[in-house]
């Protein structure tokens, strides 16, 4: 929302704080300013000039004009505007001498757009004279831009008068109300209006007020009005529309003018739209409405979308002579629903959805009466005010105990100061009981913004200045916070992988359909985003692998070997309620050269650092896994994840991948550590070499030996394997070192030999040859 | 006569020991002189033939000669050992400028690093670290935070809606609500994590970002406490004394609500391009918890109150590490990640 400094000063006449300083004060006390823009700079020196003569410049579309400026004397200017002609009055700006097409131009004749008073750049601005006069009520201005988010809760700050009230309160200066309520005709008996108002849903429209005018002349607005609107980013259209926009920007009261002669019947209905009702809006779009949309209707149908936009069929046009001026209040949620459903946000809807003040409608009309007298001379008000409203009881006063307020702020504030601050902001303050004020809320703050005493803490706090509050340490109990085991565990996992050389990546929670499919998942099984930012980000990831693979592909363009991992959540659809979010670790080791085996073993080692004693069991590969290089990882009896090489069709070079369900890993991790005394009796060790088929798993052989060895086995360690002569083709020899011993004695050599013999016989019985 | 023979034997042997060129040479001499059939040993064997009055004297001489020669031989052996060691050590020259084999240390993501640091800071101040779901229901993300349907504040947070009616949390604030529901007052908690906004990605906007929500509920919590806490915390985070200021900010779940600014760390106040000449940098939203929010989570606002704040971890990481493009954080590019 843009605010004009000059406009604010109309209501705070004593305002002399420079705009930059005012901007800072508003930021600290009221709402966030996003910056200041200077506008109308040329107006400082512009004056009305009479064009005395015009002569063409050969070979140019420009003309050479002699102008009489009064203040600056007679000047020669070069002008390119098609409307530059002798006898006219134009705006002259002494910007210095400049040669244009061989002719020296001393200053310029300016267009409305160049001056900043409107957006017209088709020709130079035409004025009425007299020569030498400055442009009436058009002076350089500073436009303060306020962040809309910071006034979401303040319906009153969507107009200059509301902001002026803040400024007056901040600077302790008087505030002038532009509204003269007496301009609304009233008498002992109410004067009937020529138009009837029939609100059919008082919740959606708590108030609808209207006035009827005739003898209207639709014409361009005076320059000052065009300038005000242009300066804050609105487009001047004609005097009637500009007047409604002006009052909206002044009082935060959106208004709408209908051409009376285009309304059918004498009654304005405010009702829910019929199912399928057609409406052609002022923006030349047509809409099909339904009962969730509130419309303004005449006897035939919708003429405006309540609080959002007017209709084309009853719009003010050049020949309009009789108007109905609407000033209403619509329910915030209702307007918001309609505006978001139709994707139609307007200056009006933006204001109504902040919960406007129903008391403001008639104020807006009173202001209109005053303005229209100037903007459309000869116009007449027909009859009195049409006004229907929902009875809204005034909100109960808020009890504000001073001691409570002081405790909340953490700073001593005197009751006098509190009263002064609140009264400057138009709250009513009276003593309720000793130490407690009774505070009444002004209507424009009562719609949503202020309803409980906590809201008053803010009013007092911001006006005394939060910077005046000394920081104080809180007096709270010393407690040890409850531990977050899961987070602590994830930290250990991160540290373990970083220690092993893996670099952490963060990926999005979204996955593309094609990527999900490549990893064997069906799009339909995913939780899906209803309004994705891009079509390939519509699924919530059920696996970290697809994106990790993308990381691998991307980085493999630059690195021959690297290690990455991510800890993130898999999101799994549930039959009802929230999805299950399962923390996973996914790691990848890419190596451009080599056969991929080293990478897999390095990744296996990393997994074992995290899970000492974990078992890697070869298993049937999934489609995205190398068919002969896929395994399950088991730890303490639980299947916790998979280790595999990425299927070559999904990426060149060897990519080893690990995927662990961290919930399962954490659950399987031993909770306690306990010291075991050293063995007191020496152990004995011997080696055995088993000849087996070349694809027989070392892990299986080891398991068989372990099973045969019996309870005295202490450890069994793989030593090496060998294939080649003199072994038969297709076989290999695998050597293990076995250590046996007892906790309570030294084994005799006979016992050791017996174990060894048992192993040899047992393996032979299973068909294995042993190399002794 | 025998004395003379002994003495000659000894000097000859000593000379040979000194002249030995190698440990093998030396061993040869040792065997020839001191071995079982060595010349000196043989002298000893002839002792019995001596008259008894000479025996003791010659025996003494013999022993002394033996000791002399043994000691000379050992000392020569030590020389050989020392030389051999010297040669070995010289041969074991190693170029330690060669790179160490094995992978280099990996890198933790910058957000992880900054988040861990801040978590530790809060834990040291008695705050629990809580987690909540990234897929949230509308109630916890909005309604329970005093943002009912059709509230214009919902516009402040462009939301990713899911087809099942749930949503991707737009902030970590719902964890506040879950924390209050689960733990009740008094409560000190933070909730770091991932949040989502439906907006287009460019150098300074991301649809996925990281926040750290914090809340303290106790019997008597004031604006003065909030300022104290934020100042203490931010000084720890930025590792220097920071000056903070509060100004009004609107967030439906707090009342009063603030934007907290810190005095620009680059220029220290007078104004520079980083702070857009204002001297202040907007850092985080905070406020006293709105009584409606407490009530909705079953906490009596007449008895308890508190403050809440939301720290942008993404923004903080970008500030600390001078990262100028937010997309790098989720880009998975090792050229970026390996710098941390």
Residues of A in contact with B196 (CB under 8 A): 509
- Give me the mean pLDDT over the A565-592 stretch: 96
Chain A residues whose CB is inside 8 A of the B207 CB are 533
Give the tokens for residue B202. Answer: 């460019």
- For residue A331, whether the previous peptide bond is cis, meaning omega lies within 30 degrees of 0, is no
Question: Most distant CA pair in chain A: distance in Å?
Answer: 133
Mutate to test the interface with A, among B332, B334, B335, B339 (most CBs of A within 10 A): B332
Question: For position B156, what pLDDT does the model report?
Answer: 67
Share of chain A above pLDDT 70, in %: 100
Cα separation, A8 vs A164, in Å, equals 5
* CB proximity A353 to B under 8 Å: yes
Interchain CB distance below 8 Å, B135 and A540: yes
Contacts of B152 in chain A (CB under 8 A): 152, 332, 336, 353-354
Max CA-CA distance within chain B?
131
Q: Which residues of A touch B314 (CB under 8 A)?
A: none
Q: Which of A30, A409, A509 sits opposite B248 (nearest CB)?
A: A30
Here the tokens at position A134 are 């400055």
Residue A382 and residue A369: Cα distance in Å, rounded?
Answer: 11
Q: Are A555 and A590 in contact (CB under 8 A)?
A: yes
What angle is formed at CA A365 by the lines to CA A362 and CA A367, rounded to 5 degrees? Answer: 115
Smallest CA-to-CA distance from B85 within B16, B20, B23, B18 is with B23
Q: A228 pLDDT band (50/70/90 cuts)?
A: very high
Asked whether the beta carbons of residue B223 and residue A466 sit closer than 8 angstroms, the reply is yes
- The predicted pLDDT at position A189 comes to 65
Cβ–Cβ pairs < 8 A, chains A and B:
249
Binary contact (B334, A564; C-beta < 8 A)? yes
Q: Cβ A487–B119 below 8 Å, yes or no?
A: yes
Gap between the Cα atoms of A146 and A33, Å rounded:
4
Nearest CA to B213 out of B317, B316, B310 is that of B310
Measured distance CA(A406)–CA(A418) in Å, rounded: 10
Residue B56: the pLDDT is: 83
Give mean pLDDT, residues A150-179: 96
Residue pointed to by tokens 């609304």: A184
Q: Which of A157-161, A318-322, A757-761, B31-35 has the lowest mean pLDDT?
A: B31-35
**pLDDT reported for residue A760:** 94
Query: For A733-743, what is each residue's pLDDT tens digit?
Result: 999 999 999 98
ipTM for the complex shown: 0.86
CA A208 to chain centre: 34
* Long-range contact set of residues A697-704: C-beta below 8 Å, sequence gap at least 24: A697/A618, A698/A734, A699/A615, A699/A616, A699/A617, A701/A734, A701/A736, A701/A768, A702/A736, A704/A762, A704/A763, A704/A766
For the full predicted model, state whether its pTM sits above 0.80: yes
Min distance B105 CA to chain A CA atoms (Å):
4
pLDDT value for A59? 84
A367 close to B (CB below 8 A): no
Q: Is A150 on the interface with B (CB under 8 A)?
A: yes
Buried b (16+ CB within 10 A) or exposed e, A543-556: bbbbbbbbbbeebb
Q: Choose, out of B100, B102, B103, the residue to mutate when testing the contact with A (most A CBs < 10 Å).
A: B103
A555 with B334: Cβ contact below 8 A = yes
Angle at A146 between CA A143 and CA A152, to 5 degrees: 145
Measure the CA–CA gap between A15 and A584, rounded to whole angstroms. Answer: 62
Among B247, B285, B269, B282, smallest CA distance to A26 is for B247
Residue A44 has pLDDT above 70, yes or no: yes
Report DSSP state, residue B329: G
Cβ separation of A481 and B188 shorter than 8 Å?
yes
Which residue has 């803040």 as its token pair? A166
pLDDT digits (tens, 9 = 90+) for A687-708: 999 999 999 999 999 999 999 9
* Region A583-609 average pLDDT: 94
Contact call for residues A447 and A13 (beta carbons, < 8 A): no
pLDDT digits (tens, 9 = 90+) for B305-334: 999 999 999 989 988 898 989 999 999 999
Picking from A474, A578, A602, the nearest residue to B225 by CB comes out as A474
- Which DSSP string corresponds to A575-639? SSSSPEEEEEEEEEEEESSS-SHHHHHHHHHHHHHHSTT-EEEE-PPPTTEEEEEEEEEEETTEE
Spell out, as residue ranges, where chain B has pLDDT lower than 50: none
Q: Please, are residues A599 and A589 in contact by the beta-carbon 8 Å criterion?
A: yes
Is A153 in contact with B102 (Cβ distance < 8 A)?
no
How far is C-alpha A6 from the geometric centre of its chain's CA atoms?
A: 32
Within a 10 A sphere around the Cβ of B21, how many other Cβ atoms? 8
pLDDT at B58: 83
End-to-end CA gap in chain A: 91
Percent of chain A with pLDDT over 90: 86
d(C-alpha A566, C-alpha A640), whole Å: 16
Per the CB < 8 A criterion, the answer to whether B166 and B123 are in contact is no
Phi (first) and psi of residue A381, to 5 degrees:
-85, 130
> Do A763 and A690 touch, CB atoms closer than 8 A?
yes
B93 CA: distance to closest CA in chain A (Å):
29
- A461 to chain B: which residues are within 8 Å by CB? 223, 256
Distances in whole angstroms, Cα of residue A330 to Cα of each of A324, A600, A647, A651, A680: 18, 67, 62, 60, 90
Q: Which DSSP letter does residue B226 get?
A: H
Rounded distance between C-alpha atoms, residue B230 and residue B228, angstroms? 6
Mean per-residue pLDDT for A631-645?
Answer: 97
CB contact under 8 A, B224 and A410: yes
CA–CA gap between residue B174 and residue B213 (Å, rounded): 9
Contact call for B105 and A564, based on CB within 8 A:
no
pLDDT digits (tens, 9 = 90+) for A281-327: 999 999 999 999 999 999 999 999 999 999 999 999 999 999 999 99
Burial B128-158 (b: 16+ CB within 10 A, else e): bbbbbbbbbbbebbbebbbbeeebbbbbbbe
- CB neighbours of residue B40 within 10 Å: 20
SS3 A441: coil
Phi (first) and psi of residue B196, to 5 degrees? -135, 140
Inter-chain CB proximity A578 and B135 less than 8 Å: yes
Specify the pLDDT at position B5: 82
d(CA B124, CA B121): 5
Q: Which chain A residue has its CA at the smallest distance from B166's CA?
A: A578
Length of chain A: 772
Task: Tell the residue number behind the tokens 């009479």, with chain if given.
Answer: A50
Between CA B65 and CA B72, with CA B69 as vertex, the angle to 5 degrees is: 140
**Which residues of chain B make contact with A598, given a CB cutoff of 8 A?**
none
Distance from C-alpha of B122 to C-alpha of A28, rounded to nearest angstrom:
29
Contact yes or no for B111 and A410 at CB 8 A? no
| Cα–Cα distance for residue pair B323/A22, rounded to 1 Å | 34
Over residues A668-693, the mean pLDDT reads 91
Q: Which of residues 516-545 of A touch B (CB under 8 A)?
A: 527-533, 540
Test mutation, A294, A493, A530, chain B, max B CBs within 10 A: A530
Token match 């991307």: residue?
A554
Inter-chain touch B160–A529, beta carbons under 8 Å: yes
Residues paired with residue B244 on neighbouring β-strands, in sequence order: B262
Do residues A315 and A282 touch, judged by C-beta distance below 8 A?
yes
Task: Write the pLDDT tens digit of every residue in A704-721.
Answer: 999 999 899 999 999 999
Which residues of chain B have a CB within 8 Å of the CB of A506? 109, 111, 329-330, 332
Residues in chain B closer than 8 A to A599 (CB atoms): none
Distances (CA, A) of A332 to A210, A339, A668, A723: 20, 10, 54, 82
Report which secondary-structure segment, H or E, holds A718: strand A713-722
* Paired sense of beta strands A207-214 and A323-329, if any: antiparallel
Contact B258 A569 (CB under 8 A): no
3-state secondary structure of B290: coil
Q: Kindly determine whether residue B248 and residue A500, on different chains, have CB atoms separated by under 8 Å.
A: no
Q: What is the pLDDT of residue A354?
A: 93
Q: How far apart are CA A507 and CA B329, in angstroms?
A: 9
Asked if B111 and A409 come within 8 Å (Cβ–Cβ), the reply is: no
């Amino acid at each position: 929302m843009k605010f004009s400094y000059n406009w604010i000063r109309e209501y705070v006449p004593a305002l002399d704080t420079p705009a930059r300083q005012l901007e800072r004060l508003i930021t600290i006390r009221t709402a966030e300013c996003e910056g200041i823009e200077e506008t109308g700079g040329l107006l400082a020196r512009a004056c009305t000039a009479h064009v005395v003569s015009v002569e063409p410049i050969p070979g140019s579309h420009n003309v050479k004009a002699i102008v009489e400026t009064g203040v600056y004397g007679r000047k020669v200017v070069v002008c390119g505007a098609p409307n530059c002609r002798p006898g006219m009055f134009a705006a002259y700006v002494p910007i210095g001498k400049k040669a244009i097409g061989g002719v020296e131009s001393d200053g310029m004749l300016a267009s409305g757009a160049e001056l900043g008073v409107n957006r017209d750049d088709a020709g130079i601005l035409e004025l009425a004279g007299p020569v030498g006069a400055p442009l009436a009520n058009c002076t350089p201005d500073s436009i303060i831009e306020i962040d809309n988010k910071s006034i979401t809760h303040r319906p009153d700050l969507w107009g200059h008068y509301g902001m002026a009230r803040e400024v007056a309160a901040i600077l302790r200066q008087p505030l002038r109300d532009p509204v003269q309520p007496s301009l609304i005709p009233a008498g002992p008996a109410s004067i009937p209006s020529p138009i009837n108002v029939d609100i059919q849903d008082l919740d959606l429209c708590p108030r609808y007020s209207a006035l009827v005018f005739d003898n209207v002349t639709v014409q361009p607005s005076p320059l000052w009005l065009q300038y005000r609107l242009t300066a804050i980013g609105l487009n001047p259209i004609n005097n009637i529309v500009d007047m409604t926009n002006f009052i909206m920007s002044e009082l935060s009261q959106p208004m709408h003018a209908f051409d009376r002669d285009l309304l059918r019947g004498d009654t304005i209905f405010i009702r829910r739209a019929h199912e399928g009702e057609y409406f052609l809006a002022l923006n030349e779009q047509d809409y099909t409405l339904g009962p969730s949309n509130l419309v303004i209707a005449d006897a035939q149908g919708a003429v405006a979308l309540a609080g959002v936009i007017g209709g084309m069929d009853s719009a003010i046009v050049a020949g309009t002579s009789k108007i109905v001026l609407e000033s209403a209040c619509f329910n915030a949620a209702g307007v918001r629903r309609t505006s978001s459903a139709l994707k139609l946000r307007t200056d009006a809807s933006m204001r109504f959805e902040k919960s406007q003040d129903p008391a403001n409608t008639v104020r807006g009309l009173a202001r209109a009466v005053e303005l229209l007298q100037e903007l459309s001379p000869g116009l007449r008000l027909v009859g009195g005010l049409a006004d229907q409203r929902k009875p809204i009881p005034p909100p109960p006063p808020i009890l504000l105990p001073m001691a409570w307020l002081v405790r909340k702020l953490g700073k001593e504030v005197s009751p006098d100061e509190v009263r002064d601050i609140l009264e400057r902001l138009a709250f009513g303050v009276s003593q309720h009981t000793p130490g407690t004020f009774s505070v009444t809320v002004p209507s424009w703050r009562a719609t949503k913004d202020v309803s409980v005493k906590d809201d008053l803490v803010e009013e007092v706090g911001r006006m005394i200045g939060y910077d005046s509050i000394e920081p104080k340490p809180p007096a709270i109990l010393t407690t040890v916070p409850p531990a977050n085991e899961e987070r602590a565990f994830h930290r250990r996992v991160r540290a373990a992988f970083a220690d092993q050389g893996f670099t952490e990546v963060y990926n999005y929670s979204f996955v593309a359909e094609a990527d999900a499919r490549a990893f064997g998942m069906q799009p339909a099984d995913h939780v899906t985003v209803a309004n994705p930012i891009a079509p390939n980000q519509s699924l919530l990831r059920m696996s970290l692998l697809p994106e990790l693979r993308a990381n691998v592909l991307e980085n493999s363009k630059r690195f021959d070997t690297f290690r990455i991992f991510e800890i993130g959540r898999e999101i799994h659809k549930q039959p009802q309620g929230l999805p299950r979010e399962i923390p996973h670790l996914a790691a990848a080791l890419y190596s451009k050269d080599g056969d991929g085996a080293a990478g897999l073993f390095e990744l296996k080692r990393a997994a074992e650092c995290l899970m000492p004693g974990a078992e890697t069991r070869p298993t049937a590969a999934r489609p995205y896994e190398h068919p002969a290089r896929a395994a399950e990882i088991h730890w303490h009896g639980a299947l916790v994840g998979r280790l595999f090489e990425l299927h070559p069709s999904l990426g060149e070079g060897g990519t080893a991948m690990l995927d662990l369900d961290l919930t399962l890993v954490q659950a399987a991790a031993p909770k306690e550590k306990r010291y075991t005394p050293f063995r007191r009796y020496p152990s004995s060790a011997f080696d055995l070499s088993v000849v087996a088929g070349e694809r027989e798993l070392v892990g299986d052989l080891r398991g068989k030996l372990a099973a045969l060895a019996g309870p005295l086995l202490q450890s069994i360690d793989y030593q090496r394997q060998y294939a080649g002569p003199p072994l038969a083709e297709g076989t290999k020899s695998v050597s293990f070192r076995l250590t046996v011993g007892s906790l309570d004695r030294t084994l005799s050599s006979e016992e050791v030999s017996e174990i060894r013999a048992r192993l040899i016989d047992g393996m032979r019985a299973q068909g294995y040859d042993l190399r002794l | 006569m025998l004395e003379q023979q002994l003495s000659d034997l000894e000097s000859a042997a000593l000379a040979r020991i000194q002249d030995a060129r190698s440990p093998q040479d030396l061993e040869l001499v040792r065997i020839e002189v001191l071995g079982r059939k060595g010349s000196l040993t043989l002298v000893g064997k002839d002792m019995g033939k001596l008259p008894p009055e000479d025996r003791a004297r010659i025996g003494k001489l013999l022993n002394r000669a033996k000791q002399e020669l043994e000691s000379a031989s050992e000392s020569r052996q030590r020389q050989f050992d020392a030389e051999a060691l010297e040669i070995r050590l010289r041969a074991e020259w190693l170029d330690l400028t060669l790179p160490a084999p094995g992978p280099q240390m990996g890198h933790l993501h910058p957000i992880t690093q900054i988040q861990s640091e801040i978590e530790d800071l809060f834990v040291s101040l008695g705050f629990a670290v809580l987690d909540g779901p990234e897929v949230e229901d509308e109630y916890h993300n909005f309604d329970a935070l005093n943002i009912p349907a059709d509230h214009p504040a919902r516009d402040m947070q462009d939301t990713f809606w899911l087809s099942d009616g749930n949503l991707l949390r737009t902030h970590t604030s719902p964890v506040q609500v879950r924390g209050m529901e689960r733990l009740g007052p008094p409560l000190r908690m933070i909730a770091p994590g991932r949040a989502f906004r439906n907006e287009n990605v460019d150098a300074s906007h991301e649809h996925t970002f990281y926040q750290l929500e914090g809340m303290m509920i106790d019997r008597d919590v004031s604006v003065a406490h909030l300022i104290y806490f934020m100042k203490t915390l931010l000084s720890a985070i930025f590792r220097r004394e920071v000056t903070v200021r509060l100004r009004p900010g609107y967030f439906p779940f707090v009342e009063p609500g603030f934007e907290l600014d810190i005095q620009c760390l680059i220029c220290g106040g007078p104004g520079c391009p980083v702070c857009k000449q204002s001297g202040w940098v907007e850092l985080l939203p905070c406020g006293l918890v709105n009584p409606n929010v407490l009530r909705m989570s079953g906490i009596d606002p007449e008895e308890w109150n508190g403050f809440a704040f939301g720290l942008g971890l993404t923004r903080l990481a970008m500030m600390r590490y001078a990262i100028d493009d937010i997309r790098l954080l989720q880009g998975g590019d090792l050229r970026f990640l390996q710098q941390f």
